[in-house]
Chain A
Amino acid sequence: MNVTITVNGEKTSHEVEDRTLLVHHLRDAVGLTATNIGCDTSTCGSCTVLLNGESVKSCTVLAAQVDGDEIQTLEGLTGEDGEMDAVQNAFQQKHALQCGFCTPGMVMAATSLLRENPDPTEDEIRMALKGNLCRCTGYHNIVQAILTAAEDAR
C-alpha cells in the first residue's frame, strides 16, 4: 500500500509492504538511519521516535499504521543551521553518551518526557527511562543531562 508520513516536517510517500515496521521504513525507505534497532521484543527503546508528538517504539508500529501522521526522529531535532537543541546539548555537556547506540532513542524519550513534565525529579526521570536501555553509561549522566536540559529551559 501507499503511505504518506510527515517525517521531521517533510511529507514522504512510499509503497510499503503490509508487514514493514515503521523503524525499517524510516531507515530504509526514508533514509534516516539515526533511529536504531536493538532488540526484537520491544524492550530496548533504541528505536524511540515521536508519533504526533508522543514517544513510541518504532519497532512496534507498522509503517502502514501511521499513514497521514507526523513522525519526528533525532535528525528532526537539529536546527536549520545544524545547531543542537537543549536536550542534545545537555547530552554532550554531561557526557550522556558513549557508544551512542541508545542515544537517538534516549534523546527522543527525554524530549517527550520534558514536554509532558518540564520539571521532573531524578526519580521521575529514572522511571520514565525504564523502557530505554543503555549498556554504556550506567544512566548516571543521562539522568544528569535531562535534569540539566530541564533547568536550561527554565
Chain B
Amino acid sequence: MSILGTRVVRTEDPRLLTTGATYLEDLRLPELQGAAYATFVRSPMAHARITEIDVSAALAEPGVVAVLTARDLDDIPDRPAGAGAEPLLAGDVVRFAGEPVALVLTEEAYQGEDVAELVSVDYEELPVVVGVDQGLRDETLLFPGTDSNVVSTGGAEAFDDAAFADCEVVVERTIVNQRVAAAPLEVRATAAIWADDRMTLWVSTQNVHGVRDAVVDRLGLGKGAVRVIAPDVGGGFGAKIGADRETITVGWAARRTGRPVRWVETRNENMVGMSHGRAQVHTVTIGGSRDGRVSAYRLDIVQDCGAYIRLGTMLPNLTMLMASGVYDLPRVETAYRTVLTNTTPIAAYRGAGRPEATAAIERAMDLFAAEIGMDAAEVRRRNLVPPDKFPFTTKTGATYDTGEYAKALDTVLDAAGYEELRAEQRRRRERGDPRQLGIGVSTYVEITGGGPEAGETARLSVHTDGTVTVWTGSSPHGQGHATAWAMLVQDELGIPMDRITVRHGDTDVLTEGVGTFGSRSLQLGGTAVHNAAVEVKERARELAAEEMEADPADLVLDTENGTWTVRGVPGQGVAWAQLAERAGPDGLSADTKFATKQATFPFGAHVAVVEVDIETGVPRLVRHVTVDDAGPVVNPILAEGQRHGGIAQGAAQALYEEMAYDEYGNPVTATLMDYTFVTAAELPSFELVAMETPTSVNPLGVKGIGEAGTIGSTPAVQSAVVDALAHLGIRHIDMPATPERVWTAINEARTAQ
C-alpha cells in the first residue's frame, strides 16, 4: 500500500519537542565566537530630514565596536535613487517610523540599546502622508523631484460605464482591506562573518538563494562570494522572503569591521521593520439581473505601498489577475494605483494579493445578493464556473486548470448544516435574542506555483549503506518538508522513511533553488524530489539488470521491501545498498529541476458562523467549516495543519488585526500588547471537509495548500458579522470588525430605522 495520503506524524518533531529547534538566536557556532551584537537606531519620525547625526557620545561608551551610518556605505555600488528606492540606512530623509538610520555594534547584547540611545540624530520634521487618500492628493511628495506619490498603475486606463448599462441592478461600494502584520513568532535575525574574501550569512529566511542573490547584488560582490544558510526558521508567512535591508546591512558590517556580527530584532522592531501585508482599498462595482446573474464587475484597487517599493507594485497585479474569483462573469474591468505613504513598506503576507481579490469579489457578491434580496449562497451558485468549462480563461487572463466549484460549495453548505443555521438565525431574530447569529459563505480560487521563474531543485543520493539523502531547494519553516519529501521517496523507491534524510537551506550544498512561499513547495519542490526518485529508480533498474544479468524491462522493484527482482524468477533479489555500491564513485544519484509556466488553481468554500452580541457589538466566531481542494493530499495531517493556521490568520484579519497609524505616522499597534494577535481563546476548533480534484500540471497532480485557509476564511468571517446584522439593514462593516465598529454600525442602523 502506498504511504501517500496517510497520516504520518512528523519526523521533525522529536528534536523540536525535546531540545527545541535551533533558531538563529540559538546558534552557538565556533565561527560566531566573539561576534559583535548589532542594534539598529531607528527613526522615531514618519517623515523628516536628517540634519545631523552625532555618534561621538555613543562611540565613547565602553563596549562599542562601531557606530555606522549611511555615510559609511561608501564601499558598495551606487543605486539609482528613483521614487520608492529603499536605502540600507536612511541618508538625508527618513520616510517611515522605524526606518533604520544607524547601526551600533557592541561587545555585549545588553549594551546595544543603551548605546543606540546615545546616537544623536537631529530631525527636521516634514509633512506626513498617512493612508492612500492623503497619498493620492500629492500635496506632500515622498520623493521630491517626482510629480506624484503614485509609483505604479496598471489595468484599464479608463473604466467604461457601458459595461453596466444593461444591468437591472448595480451596487458600488468602497471597502478596506486593512494593513496587517505577518508577525511570525520568531522575529527577523541574521548572523554574518567575512573570512577569506567570502561572506557567510545565517538568516531566518524562507529562501536562502533569494537572499544570496540580493546580497550579492546590493553589495556588489562576486556571485560565489556569498553563502547563505537558514537554520531552523520560526515562521515566515511571506514576510521572510528575500533579504531585508537589515540583513544586508549586517552582512556589510561584518565585512566592514572584520568581526562576526549577529542581529536579532526585538518584537517592537519587528512590528515596524518587517514588511506589512494587504493594505488595499477597493472600489467594487457589481451589476446584474434580479434573477441573480451577475453580468459585470469592476475592481478599482488603490494599493498602499508604504514608504518604499518592496512588493507594493507587484501585489495588485495578482489581485487583478484573480479578480473574478470562481465566477463566470461576462464583463470584468480592473485597474490599480500604487501609492507611497510614510508607513512601513508592504510586501507578501500569506496569500499576497490573492486574499484581497477574493475579499473584494466575495463582498461584492454579498452586496449584490442583499440588493436583490436573494440568499448569498444561491447567488454564488448561479454564477460559478461550471465543471465542463475547464480549462477556463477568465476575462482578466488567468487560465484555471481544474475546479469543481459547485461541488465545493454544496459540500461545505451541507457539512455546515446551512438550512438549519438559517432556521436558527430566524428563530433568534424573531425572539430578539441579544446574541444574533450570522452565517458567512465564501467561495474562492487562488493561483499557486506557476510563473516565469517557477521551478525548484532537488538532489537525491542512495548511499552504499542503503540510506538516502535528499537535498531540496525549497527551504521550509514549519511546513514539514522533511516528512513529506521522505514519503514521496519511500513511495517511489521502497526505502523506508527512517532511512531517508532531507536537507535544505544552504546555498553551498545546493547552489540553485527557490524556496518556500506562494504555496509552491509540494507542487514544485515535491515534484522535483519525486522526479529525482524516478530518475534514480531508472538508473537502478539498469544496475540491477547488470547485477542479475537480466533485461532491464524484466526488473521489478518491490516497493514494500525495497528490493529488485527479475520478474518470474524466485530469489532474494538485490537491495539498494548493493546498487549504490555498483554505481561506483559517482554514486546512485540524480539532480533535478522541475519548472512549469503553468500555475495551479486551488479552490474551496468556507462557512463561518459568528455570534454578535447586539448590546456590546462583540462578535465571536463560533464555527468555521471549510472545503479546501488542492488536489491529492500527500499527508493529511500536514495539509490540515496548513488549513488550520490559514483559517486562524484569515479570521484574525476579519475580526481583530490591524496595523494602525495615527495622523503623525506613528504606528499605534507596534507591540503585541496593542496588536490584537489572535489567541486560542477567541477561536473555535475548525471543521474541515476533504475534497481532492487533481491537476495535470505536475505528475503528482497537486496544487498548493499553504494560503488557501487564509484566502477563504477572511471574507466568510467578515460576511458572517454583517449577516448577523442584516435584519437591521446593515450591508457592510469594514475589517477588522471590532466591537466598536460593530456597535457603531448597530447604533447607526437603529437610529436610521
Residues of A within 8 A of B (CB): 17, 19, 27, 31, 33-41, 43-44, 46, 74-75, 77-78, 82, 84, 88, 91-93, 95, 97-104, 107, 122, 125-127, 129-144
From residue B531, how far is it (CB to closest CB) to chain A in Å?
26
- Is the CB–CB distance between B644 and A100 below 8 Å? no
- Is the CB–CB distance between A143 and B685 below 8 Å? yes
- Is the CB–CB distance between B235 and A92 below 8 Å? no
Which of A39, A46, A92 has the most CB atoms of chain B within a 10 A radius of its CB? A39
Candidates A39, A77, A131; contact of B671 at CB < 8 Å: A39
Candidates A17, A78, A140; contact of B18 at CB < 8 Å: A78
A37 CB contacts on chain B under 8 angstroms: 25
- Is the CB–CB distance between B647 and A138 below 8 Å? yes
- Is the CB–CB distance between B13 and A38 below 8 Å? no
Candidates B16, B183, B683; contact of A100 at CB < 8 Å: B16
Give Cα distance in the complex from A92 to B638, angstroms.
Answer: 12
Give Cα distance in the complex from A2 to B21, angstroms.
Answer: 30
From residue A117, how far is it (CB to closest CB) to chain B in Å?
15
From residue A147, how far is it (CB to closest CB) to chain B in Å?
10
Chain B 5-50 residues near chain A, CB threshold 8 A: 9-10, 12-14, 16-23, 25-26, 28
Give Cα distance in the complex from A46 to B645, angstroms.
Answer: 17
Whether B233 sits at the interface, judged by CB under 8 Å, is yes
The bracket for how many chain B residues form the interface is 35 or more
Candidates B479, B645, B673, B679; contact of A137 at CB < 8 Å: B645
- Is the CB–CB distance between A91 and B17 below 8 Å? yes
Task: List 8 other contacts, CB 8 Å, given A95-B638, A100-B21, A125-B680.
Answer: A33-B25, A35-B20, A41-B671, A78-B19, A99-B21, A99-B185, A101-B184, A122-B685
Give Cα distance in the complex from A92 to B10, angstroms.
Answer: 7
Q: List 18 A-B contacts (CB under 8 A).
A: A40-B671, A75-B19, A88-B18, A91-B13, A92-B9, A98-B641, A99-B233, A100-B20, A100-B478, A126-B681, A129-B681, A130-B679, A135-B184, A136-B478, A137-B644, A138-B645, A138-B646, A140-B644
A43 CB contacts on chain B under 8 angstroms: 671-673, 677
A131 CB contacts on chain B under 8 angstroms: 679
- Is the CB–CB distance between B681 and A137 below 8 Å? no
Whether B186 sits at the interface, judged by CB under 8 Å, is yes
Give Cα distance in the complex from A77 to B14, angstroms.
Answer: 12
Chain B 204-244 residues near chain A, CB threshold 8 A: 232-235, 237
Give Cα distance in the complex from A97 to B641, angstroms.
Answer: 9
- Is the CB–CB distance between A38 and B187 below 8 Å? yes
From residue B139, how far is it (CB to closest CB) to chain A in Å?
36
- Is the CB–CB distance between A102 and B185 below 8 Å? yes
Give Cα distance in the complex from A34 to B641, angstroms.
Answer: 22
Whether B722 sits at the interface, judged by CB under 8 Å, is no
Which of A35, A99, A101, A104 has the most CB atoms of chain B within a 10 A radius of its CB? A99
Give Cα distance in the complex from A93 to B680, angstroms.
Answer: 19
- Is the CB–CB distance between B235 and A34 below 8 Å? no
Q: Which residue of A lies closest to B13 (CB)?
A: A92
Whether B268 sits at the interface, judged by CB under 8 Å, is yes
Candidates A33, A40, A139; contact of B267 at CB < 8 Å: A40
A82 CB contacts on chain B under 8 angstroms: 18
- Is the CB–CB distance between A129 and B679 below 8 Å? yes
- Is the CB–CB distance between A140 and B232 below 8 Å? no
Whether B648 sits at the interface, judged by CB under 8 Å, is yes
Chain B 97-113 residues near chain A, CB threshold 8 A: 110
A37-B25, A143-B685 are known contacts. Are A136 and B235 too (CB-CB below 8 A)? yes
A91-B13, A99-B235, A101-B186 are known contacts. Are A138 and B20 too (CB-CB below 8 A)? no
B17 CB contacts on chain A under 8 angstroms: 74, 84, 88, 91-92, 97, 100, 103, 107
Which of B13, B184, B648 has the most CB atoms of chain A within a 10 A radius of its CB? B13
- Is the CB–CB distance between A135 and B237 below 8 Å? yes
- Is the CB–CB distance between A40 and B268 below 8 Å? yes
Give Cα distance in the complex from A97 to B10, angstroms.
Answer: 9
A103 CB contacts on chain B under 8 angstroms: 16-17, 20
From residue A50, how far is it (CB to closest CB) to chain B in Å?
15
B184 CB contacts on chain A under 8 angstroms: 99, 101, 135
Whether B686 sits at the interface, judged by CB under 8 Å, is yes
A101-B235, A139-B648 are known contacts. Are A126 and B186 too (CB-CB below 8 A)? no
Q: Which residue of A lies closest to B674 (CB)?
A: A41
- Is the CB–CB distance between A95 and B646 below 8 Å? no
Q: Which residue of B lies closest to A92 (CB)?
A: B13
Q: Which residue of B lies closest to A37 (CB)?
A: B25
Give Cα distance in the complex from A84 to B477, angstroms.
Answer: 23
Whether B561 sits at the interface, judged by CB under 8 Å, is no
A141 CB contacts on chain B under 8 angstroms: 640-641, 644
Q: Which residue of B lies closest to A129 (CB)?
A: B680
- Is the CB–CB distance between B645 and A17 below 8 Å? no
From residue B29, how far is it (CB to closest CB) to chain A in Å?
13
Contact with A along B163-200 (1 / 0, CB 8 A): 00000000000000000000111110000000000000
Q: Which residue of A lies closest to B12 (CB)?
A: A100
A35-B20, A137-B641, A138-B646 are known contacts. Are A126 and B680 too (CB-CB below 8 A)? yes
- Is the CB–CB distance between A92 and B14 below 8 Å? yes
